[in-house]
Amino acid sequence: MHDTVMEARGLTKIYGGHRAVDAIDFSIRRGEIFGLLGPNGAGKTTTILMLLGLTEASAGSVDVLGFDPVRQPLEVKRRVGYLPDAVGFYDHLTARENLRYTARLLGLPRREAETRIAHATESVALADVLDKRVSTFSRGMRQWLGIAEIVMKRAEVAILDEPTSGLDPHSTSELLEMIRGLKRAGVAVLLSSHLLDRVQSVCDRVALFNEGRIALMGTVVELANQVLGAGHPVLVEAAGADIAAILRSVEGVQDVMPEGEGAWRVVADRDVRAVVAHCIVSSGGALKRLADLQPSLEEVYTHYFDEVRHAA
Amino acid sequence: MPPSVARRQGSPFTGIGAVFLKELADHLSSVRMLVLTLFVVAFGAFPVASSLQTLRKVVDPNSFLFLRIFTLEPEQVGISFVAALNFIIPLMAIGLGFDSVNGEFNRRTLSRVLSQPIYRDALLMGKFLAGLATFAVALVALWLIVLGTGLLLLGVPPRGVEVARGVGFLVVAIAYGGAWLAISMFFSVLFRSTATSALCALGLWLFLFLLWPQIASAVVSAAAPGEVRSVEDYVALQDLAMGLMRLSPGTLFSEAVLALLNPETRTLGPMLPAQMRGAIAGAPLPFDQSLLLIWPQITGLIAGMIMVFAATYVVFQRQEVRA
């Protein structure tokens, strides 16, 4: 289950002297959800288009399921499902007619196509609006139809460009659940987004883009360790004593940073919550809150870009 | 990268049938098509009705009675059916093609469709052929209506040669429409905004119809020597004038149609006395001779269509898909 389905080596795209994508390397394994994260204009969509062979790379190479998107685009596109940012469908056609067109482009036999369309739209709960014109569809429904297209295609790799943008929180959760469903079906998913906390919950690994380069890559915990430092961050809210000094005296604590009025952020090399609680209470302090801080991607992201800005 | 490595695999025509059928269905069921057809019928019906009236009342000495329906310039209307078509066909072709590619951009369907296993070639070619087929269907229908009405009102069946010339006219008209379809699709690839591409195509159409003849004659009179001394001078001048005019597809169309529907046409340029020798004035040319006469015009139209389409293709291949 750990074979590589997609690999980019030294992938570069130059637009009129500007390096939109600058020598990036990454690979995606079967059944993995890989997140491309980064600010707008960081080169995420360009990378996706090069993976599909819709834009020619200036340098570097891509391997998708053993095919080269430049030389064998048809083979690649037959196996990869793509949901573009703000996907569009033919408004004057019904959902079924739109999917039929895709099925014909895929060269599916008619009967096979009808079965697949029925199955795919059922899986995204669009079966009852299948014969309605797409012009009546909401943004979310169009997004679902795009997912249905990928399901119908039986893609081995799904590339989703900003799939959650413009969706309400409820639809976003449903969409992420659908993405997990694709993963369970053995599909490798590549998704790009700037909605970090949402992406964090589904991605196995992420790559953080900055100005055309992959700045960081790995699991969320790995990235947090890399950027925020290793260890267990803990949030302490307390009053009534010299809390900072007490915290620093606890064994294993590496760093204590004030986080607003009466709150501190403690980084330690082990779980120090019990000791911290004991020390504060025994020295007469009033402990109000003691929380284990999970590293959030947003924090990693903000922290990283702050560092980059300071370095510049 | 050596070319052998960069060569892409798979037929460029994969999926062309799917694109063609979908576009054809879109065209035929669209309101726009209905409007265009009404437009053509309205423009065509008046000249045809008037010529039929004239032909019924006046005994025309012309033996090609049926072809006269197309070419007669009725006094009340002042425009013949073919002249009306000359004007209307570009409009129809522009209407079918001006948003074919940028419309996909604006609906954000282009990247999704191109992520299916087809090449861009298939998309462009399928769209062009579907437009051409739609146009041909409309034109054939119109042609049959005119022929049928003529049959009913004149009460004489057309002769074989008249039908042959009529079919020839149809082919030329479709090639003419194809040239304008290629032009409008070119603008639809060049500009992202459908309004801009429609405006440019219509602008070119008006320019070629209204301004180009003036410009051509201005160029000719500027190039003309103080006085025309010899026949050679005159012929050279005429050649320049016709050469300039023939850059407009409308001129090629009207010349080709003239020779096809007026069988007595012997030449499209100036007639020299030498060419008149031995000719019986007013005697019609055989069909194959007429065809030979307009062969350059037909080739020109088709070559123009292919050239513009090739330019469209090159621009489209180099274009970025992202909106």
**Does the beta carbon of B121 lie under 8 angstroms from any beta carbon of chain A?**
no
pLDDT tens per residue across span A10-28 = 999 998 888 889 999 999 9
A91 vs B107: CB contact, 8 Å cut-off? yes
pLDDT the model gives residue A230: 63
Q: Mean pLDDT for chain B? A: 87
pLDDT the model gives residue A24: 92
Instruction: State the average pLDDT over residues A142-171.
Output: 91
Nearest chain B Cα to A55, which residue?
B320
Q: In A, what residues contact B, Cβ < 8 A?
A: 45-46, 49, 52, 54-55, 70-75, 77-78, 80-84, 86-92, 101-102, 104-107, 146, 149
In this prediction, the answer to ipTM > 0.90 reads no
Q: What is the 3-state secondary structure (H, E, C) of chain B?
A: CCHHHHCCCCCCCCCHHHHHHHHHHHHHHCHHHHHHHHHHHHHHHHHHHHHHHHHHHCCCCCCCHHHHHHHCCCCCCCCCHHHHHHHHHHHHHHHHHCCCCHHHHHCCCHHHHHCCCCCHHHHHHHHHHHHHHHHHHHHHHHHHHHHHHHHHHHCCCCCHHHHHHHHHHHHHHHHHHHHHHHHHHHHHHHCCCHHHHHHHHHHHHHHHHHHHHHHHHHHHHHHCCCCCCCHHHHHHHHHHHHHHHCCCHHHHHHHHHHHHHCCCCCCCCCCCHHHHCCCCCCCCCCHHHHHHHHHHHHHHHHHHHHHHHHHHHHHHHHCCCCC
pLDDT band at A90 (very low <50, low <70, confident <90, very high): very high
pLDDT the model gives residue B229: 76
Q: Mean pLDDT for chain A? A: 87
B18 vs A72: CB contact, 8 Å cut-off? no
B112 vs A87: CB contact, 8 Å cut-off? yes
pLDDT the model gives residue A2: 53
Least confident of A23-32, A70-79, B163-172, B274-283: B274-283
pLDDT tens per residue across span B53-96 = 888 877 666 678 888 888 888 777 778 888 888 988 999 999 99
Is the confidence at residue B4, as pLDDT, over 50?
no
Is the confidence at residue A228, as pLDDT, over 80?
no
Least confident of A145-159, B42-56, B188-202: B42-56
Is the confidence at residue A71, as pLDDT, over 80?
yes
pLDDT the model gives residue B2: 42
B107 vs A52: CB contact, 8 Å cut-off? no
**Which pTM does this prediction carry?**
0.87
Of A45, A70, A101, the CB nearest to B18: A101
Least confident of A58-72, A183-197, B37-51, B180-194: B37-51
Q: B114: which chain A residues are within 8 Å (Cβ-Cβ)?
A: 54
Instruction: State the average pLDDT over residues A108-130.
Output: 93
